Amino acid sequence: MTGAGRGLGRASARRLAAEGAATILVGRGRDALETVAAEIDADGGQARVITADVSSDADVERLGAAAGRVDILVNNAAAEEQWAPITMADLGAWKNIFDVNVFAAVRLIKAFAPGMSERGYGVVVNMSSIGGSQPAPYLATYSASKAALDMVSRTAAMELAGSGVRVNSIASGITDMGKTFELLPAGLLADVGRIIPAARLGNEHDIAAAISYLCSDGASYVNGQILTVDGAMTSGQWATTTVMTASMAEG
């Protein structure tokens, strides 16, 4: 589990550990990862910590050697949007976001999928976003990176399916925790919460449960899919872009 030190990564790692997975917690901050490992250990699970920057080729190579056998890979680490109109976007920020949100997943799939293929079993879950299919003002860089990540999932699924390796994405809606929650203006969160058909933002348990499902034998024939977990936010013609534009203008 990358990005395991906080937010959805922490919650999902704890869920998988509670279900019997021996977890490897990956991230840049050792203290946060050690805290999660202690929580898992206290609950009777197994966890170990490997610090790594998944945007670094050298770090991913070291991670691959240190991790050993990996049957489930959850690419959760993500970089956030700079919140700027596309005409003002900094190209350096585009490169940085793609390096974490897209290329890191490719690096990790390259590091672990060959071993999965040799053993005839493996699961890869890439944490995506509804932004990958639903454009929104000021989110061009982030949304484009998630769209690219979804295509990585679908293509890798086709290429690896015959070997017993499954690859899927989870397109998360807006949740009540994590980096996106911290970056969004309070007024925007209130507005979005009102227009979601489920009448609430998503939470850590919603996403952790979806990850658990995709990693389970119950999803053995689910491959190359983008599983949307958003409380039906993207199911109809909701005024998301109108609300976001108005809220950002007020901010």
Q: What is the DSSP string of 68-113?
A: ---SEEEE----------GGG--HHHHHHHHIIIIIHHHHHHHHHH
Q: Does 154 score more than 60 pLDDT? A: yes
Q: Which positions are annotated as active-site residues? A: 142
Share of the chain above pLDDT 90, in %: 70
60 is a domain residue: no
pLDDT digits (tens, 9 = 90+) for 48-104: 999 999 999 999 999 999 999 999 999 999 887 667 888 988 889 899 999 999 999
Range of the domain at 214: 74-250
pTM reported for the whole predicted model: 0.90
25 is a domain residue: no
Q: What b-and-e string marks burial along 108-117, b requiring 16 or more CB atoms within 10 Å of the CB?
A: bbebbbebbb
Question: How deeply is 135 buried, as exposed, middle or buried, from its count of CB atoms within 10 A (0-12, 13-18, 19+)?
Answer: middle
206 is a domain residue: yes
The tokens for 193 are 């919460």
Within 8 A by CB and 6+ apart from 82, the residues are: 89, 90, 93, 97, 141
Number of structural domains the chain divides into: 1
Helix (H, G, I), strand (E, B) or coil at 52: coil
49 is a domain residue: no
* Residue 88's CATH number: 3.40.50.720
164 is a domain residue: yes
pLDDT digits (tens, 9 = 90+) for 25-56: 999 999 999 999 999 999 999 999 999 999 99
Q: Is there a contact between 207 and 11 (Cβ–Cβ < 8 Å)?
A: yes
89 is a domain residue: yes
